[in-house]
Chains A and B, each alone.
Chain A
Amino acid sequence: MLDSLRRWRDEVGDTHGLGAARVVLGLLLFANALRAARELKVGYFGDFFHWPILPAPLVADHNLYAVLVISQVLLSAFVVAGHRARGALFLSATIGLYVLLCDRLQFHNNRLALFFYALILSFSPCDRAFSVTRVVPTATGPLWAARLAQFQVSFIYVASGGSKLLDPDWRSGRVLGERFILFGPGAVANGVPESVVKWVAHPDLASALAKIAIATELGLAVALWSRRTRILALWWGVWFHLAIEASSRVEGFTWLTLALYALFSTPDLRARKLYYDPFRWRSRAIARAIAWLDWLSRFEVKAWAPDRLGEGHGLVIVRRDGTLATGLGALTMLTRCIPSLFPLWAPLALAASFTRSGDAGART
């Protein structure tokens, strides 16, 4: 127990996942600050009905609030750029939480989550990758705060899934079914077929979907931590959040959670190799696209001098264990490691599991 605590405390690893999460957080903080600025243009919240948690004298007046909103915009730029990003994250979180305490009408779970994650990441070496001004020349650093952010992801799943599990109306599907009924007309107006809306609002299906949602939230909280189940949990979680994004208004919560998923990836830098044939334009284009999309720096992308193995293959991937993959195997590997392709991973992995095609097998 003490040993694992010590391991957690002293773990050091690659911080590209942290850097990627920081950039997304910065963009979401920027979007949040812009929203606040737009609302301020219409009127300062203190001039209308508001409900502070803080004592009234501690609530920001109009001028201070305007300064805070402008600061949030500027700080978010620092977070994205990676320049003094940790201080900027800390201040963004502090200002954001202060504003929530000034007016609980502005409270939304997604905003709270954004500020909590910003606060945690400010204690992580998230400025060592994707940064315009690197403070430290290496992209490795202590990962204890990244693990705390991962805990927060799971904690939110437990809090959300647990509250649903304890609510008979949620368990029975009544809440979900009624949501489909209430928001159905809007979905139909946005192009969703009426028959689909009616179908999902059916009590039996709503009940099944509610149970799936609860099981998903509680299951993800656990499955994300196991090496055996993590990849499937991440894939299922991605689609779960994309489905929520398509059906509900959750501001930036989908992208926030998906960005935090990057912390669950194994922090190994360029542990896989991608060789491409430099004499084929298609291979060059794919290699360039992969280098650009490889935000977690999983691949070392290299041109090769075509050899016997390369014949007929524009791309060959050398896996972490040294085995080679081409064709469908390589494509599956890419979808597994490239965040923007990850939603496609499971069906491809399933298809690949039925064939040895693309599995070159040999070790380098």
Chain B
Amino acid sequence: MFDLPPQARAPAALLWVLGQAALVLTAGLRADHIFSFRMFPEASTLEVHLSRVTRGFTLPAPRGEWAAKDEAGQLRHFSWRDRVRDPVLESVDVPVFASYGTDAQLARLQRALDDVADNIDQDDETLRLRADIRVSKNGRDPYAATLFSHLRRGR
């Protein structure tokens, strides 16, 4: 199976080369530019501050921790890190190196917000999660960005 006959070698190699070229040339279409061998693309940092949007209030969630009542009125504890274990994304309230660049990490953070919002079933107060981010791209002055999770189902 692995010894390709001579007539199959050139088409196989051509297919490989075209595939590689396609992966690199379409990198811009993927938020995290994966499969494109962009090594050390940036030297940027992010500082994420989490909060949660409830009816009428936006309440901070320092260090990604918060307490909220469940349906029965029982107070429960929630943590961002219960779901998010990625070394960059789990870091809240501290500056962290944005490996693979800010675009990649912001795209991942958006997904993480949605994921956590979908997995805090016992939180009967939070409508959506919010992340306020200080983004410093390649050592420039930081700018602010805000991301929201989608609205939690049934809220």
In the assembled complex, the Cα of A233 lies from the Cα of B29 at a distance in Å of 34
Residues 67-104 (chain A) with a chain B CB within 8 angstroms = 86-87, 90, 104
Tell me if A49 and B35 are in contact (CB < 8 A): no
Question: Given the known A-B contacts A9-B6, A175-B138, A181-B139, are A51 and B108 also in contact in the complex, defined by CB atoms under 8 Å?
Answer: yes
Question: Given the known A-B contacts A10-B6, A112-B37, A120-B16, are A174 and B139 also in contact in the complex, defined by CB atoms under 8 Å?
Answer: yes
In the assembled complex, the Cα of A116 lies from the Cα of B97 at a distance in Å of 27
B84 at the binding interface (Cβ < 8 Å) = yes
Tell me if B111 and A51 are in contact (CB < 8 A): yes
Measured CB to CB, the nearest residue on chain A to B34 is A107
In the assembled complex, the Cα of A113 lies from the Cα of B85 at a distance in Å of 24
Name the contact of A163 in the complex, choosing from B9, B13, B35, B41 (C-beta under 8 A).
B41
A177 at the binding interface (Cβ < 8 Å) = yes
What number of residue pairs across chains A and B have CB atoms under 8 A from each other? 100
Tell me if A152 and B20 are in contact (CB < 8 A): yes
Tell me if B43 and A175 are in contact (CB < 8 A): yes
A61 at the binding interface (Cβ < 8 Å) = no
Name the contact of B2 in the complex, choosing from A105, A109, A122, A163 (C-beta under 8 A).
A122
Tell me if B37 and A159 are in contact (CB < 8 A): yes
Measured CB to CB, the nearest residue on chain A to B83 is A49
A5 cross-chain contacts in B, Cβ below 8 A: 10
A42 cross-chain contacts in B, Cβ below 8 A: 85
Contact with B along A148-166 (1 / 0, CB 8 A): 1001100110011001000
B76 at the binding interface (Cβ < 8 Å) = no
B86 cross-chain contacts in A, Cβ below 8 A: 49, 105
B97 cross-chain contacts in A, Cβ below 8 A: 182
Tell me if B2 and A123 are in contact (CB < 8 A): yes
In the assembled complex, the Cα of A151 lies from the Cα of B89 at a distance in Å of 35
Tell me if B39 and A160 are in contact (CB < 8 A): yes
* Chain A, interface SS category: helix
Tell me if B10 and A9 are in contact (CB < 8 A): yes
Measured CB to CB, the nearest residue on chain A to B7 is A9
Measured CB to CB, the nearest residue on chain B to A155 is B20
A169 at the binding interface (Cβ < 8 Å) = yes
Measured CB to CB, the nearest residue on chain A to B10 is A9
Measured CB to CB, the nearest residue on chain B to A89 is B2
B17 at the binding interface (Cβ < 8 Å) = yes
In the assembled complex, the Cα of A174 lies from the Cα of B44 at a distance in Å of 11
Most buried by B among A107, A148, A178: A178
In the assembled complex, the Cα of A142 lies from the Cα of B13 at a distance in Å of 14
Tell me if B85 and A160 are in contact (CB < 8 A): no
Tell me if B84 and A48 are in contact (CB < 8 A): yes
Q: How far is the CB of B146 from chain A (nearest CB, A)?
A: 20
B69 at the binding interface (Cβ < 8 Å) = no
Q: How far is the CB of B123 from chain A (nearest CB, A)?
A: 16
In the assembled complex, the Cα of A151 lies from the Cα of B18 at a distance in Å of 12
A144 at the binding interface (Cβ < 8 Å) = yes
Residues 1-28 (chain B) with a chain A CB within 8 angstroms = 2-4, 6, 9-10, 12-13, 16-17, 20, 24, 27
In the assembled complex, the Cα of A120 lies from the Cα of B13 at a distance in Å of 10
Q: How far is the CB of B84 from chain A (nearest CB, A)?
A: 5
Name the contact of B32 in the complex, choosing from A104, A142, A159 (C-beta under 8 A).
A104
Tell me if A9 and B139 are in contact (CB < 8 A): no
Tell me if B39 and A105 are in contact (CB < 8 A): no
Tell me if A87 and B42 are in contact (CB < 8 A): no
B77 at the binding interface (Cβ < 8 Å) = no
In the assembled complex, the Cα of A104 lies from the Cα of B85 at a distance in Å of 14
Tell me if A176 and B24 are in contact (CB < 8 A): no
Measured CB to CB, the nearest residue on chain B to A51 is B111
Name the contact of A107 in the complex, choosing from B10, B32, B83 (C-beta under 8 A).
B32
Closest 4 CB pairs of A and B: A178-B43, A178-B139, A159-B37, A179-B43
Known A10-B6, A163-B36; 18 more pairs at CB < 8 Å: A9-B10, A42-B85, A48-B85, A49-B83, A51-B108, A86-B2, A87-B2, A107-B34, A109-B37, A109-B38, A123-B2, A125-B3, A142-B3, A144-B4, A155-B17, A174-B43, A174-B138, A175-B42
